[in-house]
Amino acid sequence: MRNRGLWVLGTLGDAACFGLALPAGMFLIAAVLDERLALPGFTVYPYTQGVGLVLMLAALVFWAWSVVAFFKLGQGSSSPLIPPAKLVIAPPYSYCRNPITFGAILYYFGLGILVGSCSFLGLNVLLTVLLVLYLKFVEEARLEKRFGEEYVRYKERTSFLIPWPRVKM
- Please check whether residue 163 lies inside any domain of the structure: no
- Please check whether residue 166 lies inside any domain of the structure: no
Q: Which pTM was predicted?
A: 0.87
Classify residue 80 as exposed, middle or buried by CB count within 10 Å of its CB (0-12, 13-18, 19+). exposed
Dump pLDDT digits (tens) for 47-86: 888 999 999 999 999 999 999 998 899 888 887 777 888 9
Residue 2 has pLDDT above 60, yes or no: no
Residue-range definition of the domain harbouring residue 145? 4-157
- Please check whether residue 71 lies inside any domain of the structure: yes
- Please check whether residue 167 lies inside any domain of the structure: no
The H or E element containing residue 129 is: helix 118-134
157, 169 contact by CB (below 8 A): yes
- Please check whether residue 55 lies inside any domain of the structure: yes
Mean pLDDT for 106-117 is 92
For residue 61, the model assigns a pLDDT of: 94
For residue 44, the model assigns a pLDDT of: 67
46, 56 contact by CB (below 8 A): no
Q: Percentage of the chain surpassing pLDDT 90?
A: 64
Measured in whole angstroms, how far is the alpha carbon of residue 112 from the centre of its chain?
Answer: 15
- Please check whether residue 168 lies inside any domain of the structure: no
- Please check whether residue 165 lies inside any domain of the structure: no
CATH code assigned at 16: 1.20.120
- Give the relative orientation of helices 99-115 and 22-36 as an angle to the nearest 10 degrees: 40
Q: Assign residue 39 a region: left if phi > 0, alpha if psi is -120 to 50, beta otherwise?
A: beta
- Please check whether residue 65 lies inside any domain of the structure: yes
Specify the number of domains making up the chain: 1
* Residues whose CB is less than 8 angstroms from the CB of residue 87 and which lie 6 or more positions away in sequence, other chains included: 74, 143, 147, 150, 151, 154
